[in-house]
């Protein structure tokens, strides 16, 4: 890892401005609810990836090669780990029968919440690691356990309707059974009530908190600098919506991705153990350089995709990647609301 970086204020400001402007442009471009097709999603996905790489080039030029490599590695790592989020998005949309035209609006607000919560968790993680290096061993154990669950296909089943966030929402405000277009709130009998769309946002946020358990320890293995870990996370999160709509309906084809993610998590776990041992036990313990980490993660991801395409699954099971609801609204089947 690089030493603590002296990040100029203007670079933080440029990052913040980039995120705010990007979100504003995205919101304006999707101000009218519509079904997002593959071509539109691919164009937006390419834009988000390009934006992340351009920012990475700025990091290289301003903060140096080591920082730039760590940023790129962390961004690629978070991008790969976000694949699991896509499956959960599909489950949540299928559970609540969210009309396709409103899914982008849900994910937009989900991304904003994720940017806030990830920032809090990463700040806490950086602070803890800087004071208690031994916590890296705990983080490694978390990643090894996640590896075990992925390989044994024992990953926790996420029940959108019973998530803490959705149950808490229902205690705070009544949730009606029917959608009201893209609205989150409506008035009924003079009272303000939530629509199922708000419950979906709550479920999305709850899912991101679960994934942060793996994501935060993993990125801290790449860098313990707040600027590197947060900016890389932010750009990975910003591209999640477009990636979901681009791959929606094709997720089951990449059946080797879970195996690839398991290998990546175990590799990161080993990296954490070596880092902690280098600092606490002996400087003679080697650390894995960031360029090597970047090469390993990229190779594993590429191999996972290649094997998935070369060896398609024998039996395809539809996992509710897209609800069959018609986006027109009134004719939609009634959504499932958490009871």
Question: What pLDDT sits at residue 32?
Answer: 82
How does pLDDT run across 67-80, given as a tens digit for each residue?
Answer: 999 999 999 999 88
CA torsion, points 114, 120, 123, 124, in degrees to nearest 10? Answer: -120
Strands (E), the chain: 185-188, 191-194
Higher pLDDT, 178 or 228: 228
Predicted local confidence at residue 150, as pLDDT:
80
Stretch 222-248: mean pLDDT, rounded? 90
pLDDT beyond 50 at 316: no
Per-residue pLDDT band at 91 (split at 50, 70, 90): confident
Per-residue confidence (pLDDT) for residue 338, from 0 to 100? 46
- Confidence at residue 300, expressed as pLDDT on a 0 to 100 scale: 92
Q: Write down the number of H helices and E strands in the chain.
A: 12, 2
* Per-residue model confidence (pLDDT) at position 1: 54
Alpha-carbon span 295 to 227, nearest angstrom: 22
pLDDT of residue 332: 46
Average pLDDT of the chain is 84
Residue 175 per-residue DSSP state? B
| 255 compared with 128, residue with greater pLDDT | 128
3-state secondary structure of 10: helix
Going by C-beta distance under 8 Å and a sequence separation of 6 or more, which residues neighbour residue 11? 58, 62, 63, 227
For the stretch 135-180, pLDDT in tens is 999 999 988 988 888 888 655 555 677 777 888 888 888 888 888 8
Is 59 within 8 Å of 71 (Cβ atoms)? yes
- What is the rounded average pLDDT of the residues 107-118? 90
Q: Is residue 329 very low, low, confident or very high in pLDDT (cuts 50, 70, 90)?
A: very low
In the beta sheet, which residues pair with residue 185? 194
Confidence of residue 64 (pLDDT cuts 50, 70, 90): very high
């Amino acid at each position: 890892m690089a030493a603590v970086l002296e990040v100029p204020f203007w670079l933080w400001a440029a990052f913040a401005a980039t995120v705010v402007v990007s979100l504003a442009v995205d919101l304006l471009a999707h101000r009218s609810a519509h079904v997002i097709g593959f071509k539109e999603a691919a164009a937006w996905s390419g834009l988000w990836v390009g934006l992340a790489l351009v920012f990475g080039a700025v990091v290289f030029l301003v903060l140096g090669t080591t920082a730039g490599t760590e940023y790129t590695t962390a961004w690629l790592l978070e991008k790969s780990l976000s694949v699991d989020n896509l499956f959960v998005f599909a489950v949540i949309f299928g559970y609540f029968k969210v009309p396709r035209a409103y899914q982008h609006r849900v994910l937009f607000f989900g991304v904003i919440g994720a940017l806030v919560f990830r920032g809090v968790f990463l700040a806490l993680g950086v602070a803890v690691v800087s004071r208690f290096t031994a916590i890296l061993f705990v983080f490694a154990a978390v990643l090894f356990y996640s590896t075990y669950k992925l390989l044994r296909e024992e990953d926790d089943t996420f029940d959108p309707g019973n998530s803490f966030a959705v149950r808490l929402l229902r205690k705070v405000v009544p949730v009606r059974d029917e959608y009201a277009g893209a609205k989150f709130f409506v008035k009924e009998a003079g009272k303000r009530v939530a629509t199922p769309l708000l419950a979906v946002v709550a479920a999305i946020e709850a899912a991101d908190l679960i994934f942060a358990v793996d994501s935060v320890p993993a990125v801290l293995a790449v860098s313990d600098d707040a600027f590197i870990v947060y900016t890389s996370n932010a750009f990975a999160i910003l591209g999640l919506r477009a990636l979901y709509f681009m791959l929606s309906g094709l997720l089951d084809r990449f059946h080797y991705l879970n195996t690839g993610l398991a290998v990546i998590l175990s590799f990161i776990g080993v990296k954490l153990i070596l880092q902690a041992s280098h600092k606490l036990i002996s400087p003679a313990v080697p650390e894995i350089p960031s360029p090597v980490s970047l090469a390993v993660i990229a190779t594993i991801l590429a191999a996972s995709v290649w094997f998935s395409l070369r060896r398609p699954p024998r039996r395809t099971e539809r996992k509710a990647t897209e609800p069959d609801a018609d986006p027109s609204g009134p004719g939609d089947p009634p959504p499932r609301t958490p009871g």
